[in-house]
A and B are shown apart, each in its own frame.
Chain A
Amino acid sequence: MNLKNKVVAMLLAGGQGSRLKSLTYNIAKPAIPFGGKYRIIDFPLSNCVNSEIHTVGVLTQYQPHMLHRYIGLGTPWDLDRRNGGVTMLTPYAEMDGIKWYNGTANAIYQNLTYLIEQDPEYVLILSGDHIYKMDYQKMLEFHKSHKADATISVIEVPWNEASRFGIMNTDAEMNITEFAEKPKKPESNLASMGVYIFNWQKLKKYLTIDNDIENSSHDFGKDIIPLMLEANEKLVAYPFKGYWKDVGTVESLWEANMDLLNPHSGLNLHDPGWRIFSSNRQLPPQVITETGELQEVFVNEGCIIEGKVEKSIIFQEVRIAQGATLYECVVMDSVVINSGAKLARTIIPPDLVIPENFEIGDPEGDIILLTQEIIDDWKGSAKV
């Protein structure tokens, strides 16, 4: 990459994702397993590498250990480099104490030293919460051709859902006129994807101004964008077409997994032209036995399938015994499902052992996030 056009990506991976309940008790949201072998953070990281952006700062705060170990030197994403590569950025102590990241903009502000060292032309701000495949170079070209100071990637959402998102109001040339956070009466259905490109000098300027505003929440959407609009900087919206999903809730995480099984969802992991890279375990091939039955299922390596599985995503080293039935489930790594168990529309977190004849979920019902407590309660009630 031409040094004059150097881009540094800053990936916000500190989110707790509390709406994902027990899945994020011990790990940060970007570390949540997805799609049979991935973690959410594989998507923005792979997008960076596939977009030829090879300098990535990963900002972590909540439960960072798993993420740090997972990313390591960045080898799976080809980010173990002499120049650039991946750098893990955690809150650190200074002369006047430890400063936790307080808001998305504040997290970047606290790492200005890293960015000053890198001295890029452009800064790409990403979040570690979304499942999507995106060529950031195309967005950068858009940013350049519009001579923008900041470009915000937007996606059209159904009008009736627009009030759940941060909405960008634009003029006909895609210039942003207003940012509305979760508007009750949305004027547009262009939702911010949490993907921003800033000219580095402008970003530095407005982060510094924002830092001195006492009642600021130090958020890109709520504070930095309005601040820049007020100062008449040129902000444009880049209309992204393609699959994008915020997997912030149990339901949306389940839906995104199910989207993999739908050939028309637009989410295709089998595209060799845009590979999603991931840290690979060394496991033997999957085994489907005489009694195994699979219909519309993703299966990863190391699994032994003896039961009946339909419309489900099966992670590595899962064992499904003969006589067990699964429908529309997401079964995370190393889960054991014993004989006679019957599960539908359930997310099964890693390492759980499902006892014999355990039943949960309705093929038409709500999405369930299984926990050890639910299993223990069931065992308790079965004894009585």
Chain B
Amino acid sequence: MKLVAIIDASVKLPELEDLTLYRSAASIPFAGRYRLIDFTLSNIVNSGISSVGVFPSYPFVSLMDHIGRGKSWDLDRRKDGLFFLPVSTKDSAQMSVGGFAALEEHMIFFEKSRQEYVVITNCFTVSQLDYEDMLESHIESGADITEAVSDGKSLRSYMLKKSLLIEFLRNYRQDQVFSVEDCVRRKKNGYEYGTYEYKGYFAIIDSIDSYFKASMELLEPEKRKSLFLPNRPIYTKVKDEPPTRYMKGSSVKHTLVANGSTIRGTVTDSIVSRAVVIRENTKVDHCIIMQKCTIEENCDLAYVIADKNVYIEAGTVLKGTKEEPIVLRKGERILKEEVG
């Protein structure tokens, strides 16, 4: 494979703040048992790429814990494999993909890699993008930089020769271009720009609204089938959870559930992550319940996003709306009196 992949996980997504207080956007849980970066990493691996550099943003402990040496993606290799490339400046995060200042700090990674081409991508676009196919199109078109697009929207993934990237990294200060995306957007003179039209599932997760919408869309069979392709599986760090228990008196409809949960209540149109406990007489409707949440008896929840480890006291009523779901932050304890 002639391609090395860069995942720029340092792009700032201010509208996702509630979910990124303790983690980078790359490790936001999605679809019950995944983190956002799983989709990008899996696409990379499913495209036959075996060398990946990840540029994380602070706080990245959660991301590091999740990807480790890349074992779950078969990227723990003697040759090539996964490289975690943090940068020295804490506020390296910026608004566009492929920031040169960050990449420059790891110039040696590019100089040492054997691959001729680089794809610079992000982890807030969930798709089944095939980088191998994109590379073919890139080479055929003769363009210097190719951008992946779909439905008139940019997927913010860019492909170019490694030698050109190194050239950018050497000259960006004097040229006043600050990222690959910046360069493409401004169509900087002297280069040919191409586009690669991707057809297939995609969702850009850059706000609570788009996060909620994309999550709910997974309940539609057609959408789900176009994201979970049997021959291009999505890999993640697997936990040893037992199967989920649907207890006597429970009712679960039109819902995605991960392993290790225990459900005694009524759940409709929702995404339930692993090791969640939903107790008797509790209603959960149009909610995203992340891992290890506990919802006690007699609660009534609608349009709620509960981040990891949220505890909801018995009898709590929480009603968000489709347009404005209520977000409960990681580890929050919701007491009945407080929401009154």
User: A76 contacts which chain B residues (CB < 8 A)?
Assistant: 240
Q: How many residues belonging to A are interface residues under a CB distance threshold of 8 Å?
A: 32
A284 to B128, CA, bound (A): 14
A51 to B238, CA, bound (A): 22
CB-based nearest B residue for A287: B256
User: A277 contacts which chain B residues (CB < 8 A)?
Assistant: 240
Q: How many residues belonging to B are interface residues under a CB distance threshold of 8 Å?
A: 34
CB-based nearest B residue for A75: B71
Asked if B235 is at the interface (CB within 8 A of a chain A CB), the reply is yes
User: B243 contacts which chain A residues (CB < 8 A)?
Assistant: 35-37, 269, 298-301, 313-314
Q: If A282-B233, A285-B31, A288-B255 touch, does A298 touch B245 (CB 8 Å cutoff)?
A: yes
CB-based nearest A residue for B271: A285
User: A282 contacts which chain B residues (CB < 8 A)?
Assistant: 72, 233-236, 238
Please tell me if the beta carbons of B246 and A295 are within 8 angstroms of each other in the complex. yes
Contact with B along A268-294 (1 / 0, CB 8 A): 011000011110101111111110111
Asked if A89 is at the interface (CB within 8 A of a chain B CB), the reply is no
**Binding stretch for chain A, among B113-121, B140-148, B257-265, B296-304:** B257-265
Please tell me if the beta carbons of A284 and B31 are within 8 angstroms of each other in the complex. yes
Asked if B164 is at the interface (CB within 8 A of a chain A CB), the reply is no
- Distance in Å: Cβ of A31 to nearest Cβ of chain B: 18
Please tell me if the beta carbons of B253 and A296 are within 8 angstroms of each other in the complex. no
A276 to B228, CA, bound (A): 28
User: A35 contacts which chain B residues (CB < 8 A)?
Assistant: 242-243
A277 to B240, CA, bound (A): 6
A283 to B32, CA, bound (A): 11
Please tell me if the beta carbons of B242 and A296 are within 8 angstroms of each other in the complex. no
Asked if B33 is at the interface (CB within 8 A of a chain A CB), the reply is yes
A313 to B246, CA, bound (A): 10
Which of A35, A37, A285, A295 has the most chain B CB atoms closer than 10 A to its own CB? A285
- Distance in Å: Cβ of B36 to nearest Cβ of chain A: 15
Please tell me if the beta carbons of B242 and A276 are within 8 angstroms of each other in the complex. yes
Asked if B90 is at the interface (CB within 8 A of a chain A CB), the reply is no
Asked if A297 is at the interface (CB within 8 A of a chain B CB), the reply is yes
Please tell me if the beta carbons of B252 and A292 are within 8 angstroms of each other in the complex. yes
Task: Taking A285-B259, A300-B244 as given, write out 18 further A-B residue pairs in contact, using a Cβ cutoff of 8 Å, ordered by the A residue number.
Answer: A36-B242, A36-B243, A37-B259, A269-B243, A277-B240, A282-B235, A285-B257, A285-B271, A286-B256, A287-B257, A289-B221, A290-B254, A295-B246, A295-B250, A298-B243, A299-B243, A300-B243, A301-B33
Please tell me if the beta carbons of A299 and B238 are within 8 angstroms of each other in the complex. no
Please tell me if the beta carbons of B224 and A287 are within 8 angstroms of each other in the complex. yes
Contact with B along A248-280 (1 / 0, CB 8 A): 000000000000000000000110000111101
